[in-house]
Amino acid sequence: MSSTKGLEGVVATQSAISSIIDDQLTYAGYRIDDLAENSSFEEVIYLLWNQKLPTESELKVLKTQLREEMALPEAVIAHLRSYDLSTVHPMAALRTAVSLLGLYDSEADEMSEDANKRKAVRLQARMATIVAAFSRIREGKDPVQPKDNLSFAANLLYMLNGEEPKGIEIEAINKALVLHADHELNASTFTARVCVATLSDMYSGVTAAISALKGPLHGGANERVMKMLTEIGEEENAVPYIQERLERKEKIMGMGHRVYRNGDPRAKHLKKMSKELTELTGQPKWYNMSVKIEEYIKKEKGLPANVDFYSASVYHSLGIDHDLFTPIFAVSRVSGWIAHILEQYANNRLIRPRAEYTGPQTQDYISIEKRS
């Protein structure tokens, strides 16, 4: 029995949710390019959960359900207010708040298909509200209630900023949500499936997934990209900064990807939005700097940008705090986590791999008084 480090290349399950084949990402067979350019995030949620695009009436029902379930229990709001907001990271707050949500859901441990679908809607809707409420509470402001006439993407920005967003801002966040919604068997999705394969509840599965996403090797790349851009400061500093980092053999975040060899197909969509938004906000340097870094890394290392690289300047241009980048990722990715959780429940087998033992072989037990 031999092992593969990091399970790279190991096929662990069968899934009809998304695929990465020949550097092309699809959701239920639909190309990510088509979805990013044409679909709303609500359509993608429905697609991932049902493996088909919704009709107009089906989409209307889902949009209504999501808006109706966005309100948080008062106890969760009170809990967010109790955090030490000067030190707690938003991902830790999100992880704890989602776990807490399960205590206030009478169906949390009800495992019927209908109950799980209702919980899916609640979790999808309330993740956005948690992130927005946490952001406002730590700014000393009251949480903002969603509006019935706004889309999911528009409500997310509205609840964060307290102002209805512009068309291009809605387009940008909608694209980001669509592009991050699912990505086959990534670390957080696999964590969610392992968790619920024990027949644990959906809240446990999503909490486990958030815990995996919290790690900087998975969900924190865009936050670290923006930190790098901020350190660089001006366009003329970009290439010298990267040269110095490479000479010290330091990793450049947002470059390359474990499963793509010829480039992340999602990156180009956010690159376009980055250009438009940074021009709109009068700070084109963030986009120009990013392009210079991408071109240099591609020339020196053969690594193109991944989806996290340009999402950094997109989120920054939307006025989103840098430490909220990964929680926003989670607001999108929960749609995929839930899809995988539902799929795991539908055809479950406990996930229990083996380990290749590398320790000492059989040893004789020595009584404690004879040990040296």
pLDDT at 2 over 70: no
pLDDT at res. 336: 98
Query: What integer is the mean pLDDT of 135-152?
Result: 96
Strand pairing category for 24-27 and 18-21: antiparallel
What is the pLDDT confidence band of residue 56, given thresholds at 50, 70 and 90?
very high
Best CA proximity match to 182, nearest among 26, 347, 365: 26
What residues does each domain of the chain span?
15-216+323-346, 221-317
pLDDT at 254 over 90: no
3.40.950.10, 3.30.70.20, 1.10.230.10, 3.30.470.20: CATH of 221-317: 1.10.230.10
pLDDT at 177 over 70: yes
Tell me the pLDDT tens digit for each residue of 66-80. 999 999 999 999 999
* Eight-class DSSP state of 24: E
Angle 221-337-348 from CA coordinates, rounded to 5°: 135
SS3 content of the chain, % helix, strand, coil (to 5): 60, 5, 35
Whole-number Å distance between alpha carbons of 226 and 232: 10
Q: What length does the chain have? A: 372
Share above pLDDT 90 across residues of the chain, in percent, rounded to a whole number:
85
Residue with tokens 């350019």: 37
Annotation marks residue 257 as catalytic: yes
Return mean pLDDT, the chain: 94
Query: What integer is the mean pLDDT of 102-124?
Result: 97
Query: What integer is the mean pLDDT of 317-328?
Result: 95
Superfamily of domain 15-216+323-346: Citrate Synthase, domain 1 (1.10.580.10)
pLDDT at res. 1: 60
Q: Which of 269, 308, 316, 340 is catalytic?
A: 308
Within this chain, domains 15-216+323-346 and 221-317 share the same CATH topology? no
Q: Which of 105, 180, 201, 257 is catalytic?
A: 257
Annotation marks residue 183 as catalytic: no
Query: What integer is the mean pLDDT of 286-298?
Result: 95
Q: Are 234 and 132 in contact (CB under 8 A)?
A: no
Best CA proximity match to 319, nearest among 89, 139, 179, 181: 139
What is the pLDDT confidence band of residue 222, given thresholds at 50, 70 and 90?
confident
pLDDT at 358 over 70: yes
